[in-house]
Amino acid sequence: MAINPTEPVVKPASHAPGLAGGKFLTFFLADEEYGLEILKVHEIIGMLPVTRVPRTPAFIRGVINLRGKIIPVVDLRQRFGMPAAEQTNETCIIVVQARGAQMGIVVDRVSEVLDVAAQDIEPAPQFGGDVRTDYILGIGKAQGRVELLLDIDKVLSHQEVAAAQSAANASNVQNAAE
Amino acid sequence: MQQVHEEIIQTVSRARLQLSELDLADQATVAAIGRALEETIQELPPRLTGLIDLLTLVLDALQAIYQGDSPDAPRLARAAAEGLAAAELYLLSEGGPEPEVALEAAGQALGCALGHPTAFSPAGPLSLDDAAALLLQCGPADTIELGRVRDGLQALVAGEPLPSVAAALAVQAAQTLGSIVLGRAANPARALAEVGHLIQSAMDAMERSVPDSTPPAPAPAEAAPASDGLPADADPALLAEFILESREYIEAAEAALLSLETNPEDDEAVNTVFRVFHTVKGTSAFLGLRRISELAHGAESLLSRVRDHEIRFTGSYADLALRSTDMLRELIQAVQNALGGEPMHLPAGYAELLRLLEDPETLAANTTRDDLPLPRLGDLLVAQGVVTRADVEAAATDQGNQPLGLALVKSGAASIADVAKALRTQQRLASGDAPAAESWVRVRTDRLDKLIDMVGELVIAHSMVAQDETVVDTIHHELSRKVIHAGKIVRELQDLSLSMRMVPLKATFQKMARLVRDVAHKSGKQVDLIVEGEDTEIDRHMVDVINDPLIHMIRNAVDHGIEPPDVRVQHGKPPAGVVRLAAYHSGGNVVVEIEDDGRGLDREKIASKALARGLIESDKGLSDNDVFNLIFEPGFSTADQVTDVSGRGVGMDVVKRNVQALRGRIDIASTPGKGTRFSLRLPLTLAITDGMLVKVGDERYIIPLASIALSFRPEPRSLSTVAGRGELVMLRGDLLPVLRLHRLFHVPGAVENPTQGLLVVVGEGELRCALLVDELLGQQQVVAKSLGGIGKIQGVAGGAILGDGRVGLILDPAEVVALARQTDVDTPSVPVIPSVA
């Protein structure tokens, strides 16, 4: 592949801070392609029956039985506020290690493992308004495509879960005070 | 010729018998034995050089005893008797390699006892290097060479001033070698390897001691309290491992010491304790923990004297050994503290204990030494199935003054080979080298848990295969046969993996034995602990949790239950009280009983205390059991005085709480003046929950069976509402709030009309309520698991893998009810009821 003259010269300042290049597992949600650091990925499994867990945030689909271990499953479409999609036979669960625990994330389709060099990663843009970008590590550009590289720890952060939960249980505090 | 042979055997046998019962001052007998032997030696055919040599040595020994110039006459007499026994065996067996070796060994032992080790082996003192070199050339079967190395080592220790650690190691090496030579080592090859290590350590010790040239000073080391702290080059990881290991060792030693209390002749226990001290000594010396190795050395010396039957393990010696383990524990704690950066303090009493260990006789009044009873030869033969009990009895009655083995051989009941084998077993038992039957591998618990998970998964995966229609409806019978076969293996695997979680209660009970001993000492009581069923197995998580309740109850039993000896005697009881600790399985539960034969619970006293505290208004109409159960109330104590072990009124309520947290139960039975019995009834494992699978809409939940009172389908007229929303149901005259699970958990498609579904009554007292579910799907045992990274969900106790491989949620009814009270407006709380009723 010839060097694309329009591609910017290496500009260290434009790199996402602290993010070295490496291998990323890419997957699709609707038409958007996302990437996960490969080291965070445990395995990819087909869809399993999910048991709903009451009183959890909507983006938590529920729990599945991963060979005898119970792990929570997060619906990434829900998490990112995208419309729900029909389950196809390409829908699958990526099991990741996030914040010391295993979790599954439901994605539409797994694509490939991609090498992204450090200079091909740009910091996440700021859109303002209600578009949140704090769980995007950066934007990778490789082979002419654009991948949103996710910071999975932030996507599935315990604070998020805890916040959602404490909202659900807000009245507990009042009752305890009585 | 045959007759001469018989005569010789009889002479030797008689001499042995006389010698073993010999009063060492009785010179006439010694002389008589000597004369008889002298004649025998003349009669022996000259080709039996080995035998003649040995008997000559015995004669020398007798000479020494007779003249009274031996420093250790009893040992000499024993060695001589052993020599005669070997000779007898040799004569009876008429050749063969084994008696030959025994002869050789007895000769060497005798030679040593006589103080001229060169009599049998012409080797002078060996240096450690020479010993190591010689050892390398020997195999476990080269007894003569090994004997030479042993004698060389003994001569070395006797002749040269060695540093004390090196000398001790060399002595131990010589002892181990001795056991190989005498054929007493259970595993000669391993024993030989051990000798190698010991000599290596001794050499190391020599090298270490060179720079500071420490004299071999077993004298009290009082003038060296300085320089306490970890050695500068200590490796924290090694130290941490040492701490962990040593604690385990010390626990084992304590258990063995306690078993020695009841049975001072238990050689295996003595060896266990000895090995513990020895190992701790070695490792701590290696790590440069001088204080620990010094103490361990002292304790080891004490134990080695017990092991050599020089002293009996009773009274003050036992105390000393226990104090040593305590001190070791404290020292190890100090090391751990030091690892954490704290200054290292020498525990109080260290110097004194060390001095006592150096010279235990200052403390001890009892230095009785009697030979230990061994398992009897007849018993061994019967156990080996060689002879019947009747044979032995018969032989014993007409054995006269010949040994039983001989009598058995003569009566034709047993062959000489069998008797020889039994004799060797007896000797092996005597030396405590019984082969270890069990071996262990330490496995990390998380791996074990994972294994159990995987096996559970395998069971489910297999049942999916087995229920697959291609298998069920197959025309290939071979296939279904194979599936069934695989199923059997899988189930066996599951049983096995579940059993791996289980540990015997032994360790817990042994701790209690120590506790009883200490509390009894402190409170000046005599208490015997009887332990039953210590092999009963229980989930390893449970073991930790029941520890504290047991401690409380044992303390109570000894401190409150058992009366002081004088009071007991007044009441016509034996002065020593009995505490019985028993465990057994009963109907899927483990029952642990703590029973004492003390004064029993005092109904009057408990009732008056309860009245004073306002717990009850009157004890009229209360059964004994009701009154006894009052002791589980917080802060309740009937003890007249607070001692430092119990009586502060914290305890029984904690016990009850802990037991209930384990889904267990506690019962009391008590008779005044006769004693009290507490029974703890606990589930076998916390991991498995008996649950009821219920359906709510598309969801299935598991409600723990223990919290379900009953379930029923309500009549329309038993239902009523409060303010149009809160629902109530009338059940046998009681009003219960109805809680709609589907509404609480937002489950679509559930049964809305209570008369179409089922009401499950859960909870107790104020929290009692009826949960509305669609239907009951059946009872199931499930393995409770956490929900992983999702965190705690109120109302959900955890998850479980159901039979079809899906996850089912286990509900926590108490939390569900609490949750409904907090969030839902449609569930009235109980105080609202009166306005409706």
Judging contacts by C-beta atoms under 8 Å, the chain A residues touching residue B791 are: 158, 161-162, 165
Length of chain B: 837
**Best interface-test mutation with B: which of A47, A53, A60, A97 has the largest number of B CBs within 10 A?**
A53
Instruction: Name every chain B residue with its beta carbon within 8 A of the beta carbon of A162.
Output: 791
**Residue B471 phi, psi dihedral angles, 5° rounding:** -85, -40
Phi-psi region of B691 (alpha: psi -120 to 50; beta: other; left: phi over 0): beta
Tokens 């990778």 appear where?
A140
B721 beta partners: B727
Give the pLDDT of residue B215: 39
Model confidence at B398, in pLDDT bands (50, 70, 90)?
A: low
Query: Per-residue pLDDT for A107 more than 90?
Result: yes
pLDDT band at B438; cut points 50, 70, 90? low
Task: Out of B745, B785, B789, name the one closest to residue A54 (CB).
Answer: B745
Label residue A73 by pLDDT band (50, 70, 90): very high
B821 contacts in chain A (CB < 8 Å): 175
Reported as a pLDDT band with limits 50, 70 and 90, residue A62 is very high
- The enclosing H or E element of B52 equals helix B49-67
Q: Do A63 and B787 touch (CB under 8 A)?
A: yes
Smallest Cβ–Cβ distance between B453 and the set A69, A162, A165 belongs to A69
Q: Of A146-160, B220-234, B547-561, where does mean pLDDT reach its minimum?
A: B220-234
Interface of B with A in 778-817 (CB under 8 A): 785-791, 793-796, 799, 801, 805-809
Nearest-CB residue to B795 (from A55, A68, A71):
A55
Q: How far apart are CA B646 and CA B636, in angstroms?
A: 12
Q: End-to-end alpha-carbon separation of chain B, Å?
A: 114
Helix (H) or strand (E) holding B532: strand B527-532
B753's tokens: 């009309």
pLDDT at A53 over 80: yes
How far away is chain B from the Cα of A161, in angstroms, using its nearest Cα?
Answer: 7
Quick check: A72 and B790 CB within 8 A? yes
CA-nearest residue of chain B to A71? B788
pLDDT at B136: 67
Q: Could you say which of B793, B799, B805 has the minimum Cβ distance to residue A56?
A: B793
The larger pLDDT score, comparing residue A2 to residue B400, is at B400
Question: Of B456, B747, B790, which is closest to A60 when you measure between CB atoms?
Answer: B790
The answer, yes or no, to whether residue A173 has pLDDT greater than 60, is no
pLDDT at position B580: 92
User: What separation, in Å, do the N-terminal and C-terminal C-alpha atoms of chain A show?
Assistant: 71
Q: How far is CA B65 from CA B371, B429, B757, in A?
A: 19, 29, 98
**B383: confidence class by pLDDT, cuts 50, 70, 90:** low
Question: B-chain residues within 8 Å CB-CB of A71?
Answer: 788-789
Contacts 24+ apart (CB under 8 A), B403-407: B403/B13, B403/B17, B403/B88, B403/B377, B404/B376, B404/B377, B404/B378, B405/B377, B406/B13, B406/B88, B406/B92
Q: Which of A62, A68, A171 sits opposite B457 (nearest CB)?
A: A68
**Closest Cβ–Cβ partner in A65, A68, A161 for B791:** A161
One-letter amino acid at B414 equals A
pLDDT of residue B431: 58
The 10s digit of each residue's pLDDT in B636-647 is 665 554 444 444
* Residue-level pLDDT at B13: 80
Which residues does A contribute to its contact with B (CB < 8 Å)?
A: 49, 51-56, 60, 62-65, 67-72, 98-103, 156, 158, 161-162, 165, 169, 171-172, 175
Instruction: Name the residue among B364, B251, B221, B373 with its Cα closest to residue B305.
Output: B364
Give CA B666 to chain center in angstroms.
26
What's the rounded mean pLDDT across residues B567-571?
Answer: 88
Residues sharing a CB contact under 8 Å with residue B761, sequence separation 6 or more, in sequence order: B708, B709, B710, B711, B712, B731, B736, B768, B769, B770, B771
Q: Could B807 and A65 be called an inter-chain contact, meaning their C-beta atoms sit closer than 8 Å?
A: yes
- Give me the count of residues in chain A: 178
- The C-alpha of B783 sits at a distance from chain A's nearest C-alpha, in angstroms, of 10
pLDDT tens-place string over residues B327-381: 888 888 888 887 777 777 777 777 777 777 777 766 544 433 344 455 666 767 7
Mean pLDDT of B290-310: 79
pLDDT at B223: 36
Higher pLDDT, residue B300 or B233 = B300
Cα–Cα distance, B175 to B184 (Å, whole number)? 11
Relative to beta strand B807-811, strand B699-704 is parallel
Choose between B354 and B527: higher pLDDT: B527
Per-residue buried b or exposed e for B265-289, using 16+ beta carbons within 10 Å of the residue's own CB: ebbebbbbbbbbbbbbbbbbbebeb
Q: Report the percent of chain B where pLDDT is more than 70.
A: 75
Q: Are A155 and A34 in contact (CB under 8 A)?
A: no
Q: How far is B462 from chain A (nearest CA, A)?
A: 13
Q: Cα dist. B572→A51, B526, B528, B674 in Å? A: 67, 15, 17, 11
What average pLDDT does range B718-729 have in this prediction?
82
**Interchain contact, B785 vs A70, CB within 8 Å:** yes
Question: Quick one: residue B220, left, alpha or beta (phi over 0 = left, psi -120 to 50 = alpha)?
Answer: beta
Distance from CA of A96 to the nearest CA of B (A): 11
Tens-place pLDDT, residues B754-772? 889 999 998 766 678 899 9
Q: Is the pLDDT of residue A3 over 60?
A: no
* Token duo for residue B586: 């009963």
The CA distance from A69 to B785, in Å, is 8
| Partners of residue A140 on adjacent β-strands | A121, A147
- pLDDT of B175 > 80? The answer is no
* Res. A80: pLDDT tops 90: no
pLDDT bucket at B562, cuts 50 / 70 / 90: confident
The pLDDT of B509-523, averaged and rounded, is 86
pLDDT for residue B374: 56
pLDDT at A49 over 80: yes
Distance of residue A1 Cα from the nearest chain B Cα, in angstroms: 44
Show Cβ contacts of residue B597 under 8 Å, excluding neighbours closer than 6 positions: B562, B573, B577, B578, B674, B675
Q: Is there a contact between A70 and B799 if contact means CB atoms under 8 Å apart?
A: yes
| Of the listed ranges B417-421, B534-538, B781-785, the one predicted with least confidence | B417-421
Q: For residue A8, name the pLDDT band (cuts at 50, 70, 90).
A: very low
Q: Which residue of A has its CA nearest to B798?
A: A70
- The CA distance from B274 to B431, in Å, is 13
Instruction: Please tell me the distance from the alpha carbon of residue B598 to that of residue B577, in angstroms, as a whole number.
Output: 7
3-state secondary structure B402-439: CCHHHHHHHHCCCCHHHHHHHHHHHHHHHHCCCCCCCC
Q: Which residues contact A105 (CB under 8 A, 6 or more apart)?
A: A73, A74, A75, A76, A93, A94, A96, A152, A155, A156
For an interface test with A, which of B702, B739, B807, B829 has the most A Cβ atoms less than 10 Å from its Cβ? B807
pLDDT interval class at A63 (50, 70, 90):
very high
Please give the pLDDT value at position B429. 62
* Cα B50 from Cα B46, distance rounded (Å): 10
Q: What number is the average pLDDT over the span B412-420?
A: 70
Tell me which residue of B496, B495, B494 sits closest to B458, measured CA to CA: B494
The pLDDT-based confidence of A128 (bands split at 50, 70, 90) is low
Indicate the pLDDT class of residue B217, thresholds 50, 70 and 90: very low
Query: What is the pLDDT, as a whole number, of residue B775?
Result: 92
Q: Output the pLDDT for position A153.
A: 81
Task: Look at residue B185 in the predicted model and tell me its pLDDT.
Answer: 67
**B351 CB burial (10 A radius; 0-12, 13-18, 19+):** middle
Q: What is the DSSP string of B105-137?
A: HHHHHHHHHHT-GGGT-------HHHHHHHHHH
List the one residue out of B829, B808, B824 whose CA is nearest residue B740: B824
The answer on pLDDT for A136 being more than 60 is: yes
Among A67, A100, A165, whose Cβ lies nearest the Cβ of B791?
A165
B702-732 burial, b at 16+ Cβ within 10 Å, e below that, comes to bbbeebbeebeebeeebbeebeeebbbbbbe
Average pLDDT over residues A43-62: 90
Quote the mean pLDDT of chain B.
76
Question: Chain B closest CA to A75's CA: distance in Å?
Answer: 13
Tokens 């005569």 locate to B7
The answer to whether B454 contacts chain A (CB < 8 Å) is yes
Q: Which amino acid is at B211?
A: P
pLDDT digits (tens, 9 = 90+) for B669-682: 888 888 889 888 88
On chain B, the residues whose CB falls within 8 A of the CB of A53 are 787, 790, 793, 796, 809
Name the region of B756 (left: φ>0; alpha: ψ -120 to 50; beta: rest).
Answer: alpha
Distance of CA B360 to the CA centre of its chain: 27
Q: Does B96 score more than 60 pLDDT?
A: no
Structural Rg of chain B based on CA atoms: 36
Contacts of B228 (CB under 8 A, 6+ apart): B291, B344, B345, B346
Confidence of residue B809 (pLDDT cuts 50, 70, 90): very high
- Whether the CB-CB separation of B589 and B537 falls below 8 Å is answered with no
Residue with tokens 């000797």: B427
Tokens describing residue B201: 């350590």
ipTM tops 0.90: no
Confidence of residue B619 (pLDDT cuts 50, 70, 90): confident
- Can you give the pLDDT at residue B486? 93
Cα separation of B141 and A39, whole Å? 58
Least confident stretch, B19-23, B219-223, B251-255, B289-293 = B219-223
Confidence of residue A51 (pLDDT cuts 50, 70, 90): very high
* pLDDT for the residue B830: 35
Residue in A with minimal Cα distance to B453: A68
Euclidean distance between CA atoms B786 and B780, whole angstroms: 18
Nearest CB to A171 within list B456, B806, B822:
B822
Torsion of the alpha carbons at B224, B227, B228 and B232, rounded to the nearest 10 = -140
* Alpha-carbon gap: B725 to the closest alpha carbon of chain A (Å): 20
When CB atoms are compared, the residue of A51, A56, A71 closest to B788 is A71
Most confident of A124-133, B477-486, B533-542, B548-557: B477-486
Interface probe, candidates A52, A157, A158, chain B, greatest B C-beta count within 10 A: A52
For position B292, what pLDDT does the model report? 82
Residue position matching structure tokens 């476990």? B140
Nearest CA in chain A to B454: A68
**Number of neighbours of residue A118 by Cβ within 10 angstroms:** 14
Highest mean pLDDT among B188-197, B333-342, B447-456, B574-583: B574-583
CATH second-level architecture of A20-163? Beta Barrel (2.40)
Cβ B87 vs Cβ B54: under 8 Å: yes
Pick the closest to residue B255 from B188, B322, B339, B160 (CA basis): B322
Name chain A contacts of B747, Cβ cutoff 8 Å: 52, 54
Q: Are strands B665-671 and B577-586 parallel, antiparallel or unpaired?
A: unpaired
For residue B665, what are its two tokens? Answer: 């139960």
Q: What is the DSSP string of B778-835?
A: EEEEEE-B--GGG---TTEEEEEE-TTS-EEEEE-HHHHHHHHHHH-TTS--GGGHHH
Confidence tier at B485 by pLDDT (50, 70, 90): very high
Per-residue pLDDT, averaged over B368-395, amounts to: 63
Nearest-Cα distance to chain A for B447, in Å, is 13
Amino acid at B570: Q
A55 vs B794: CB contact, 8 Å cut-off? yes
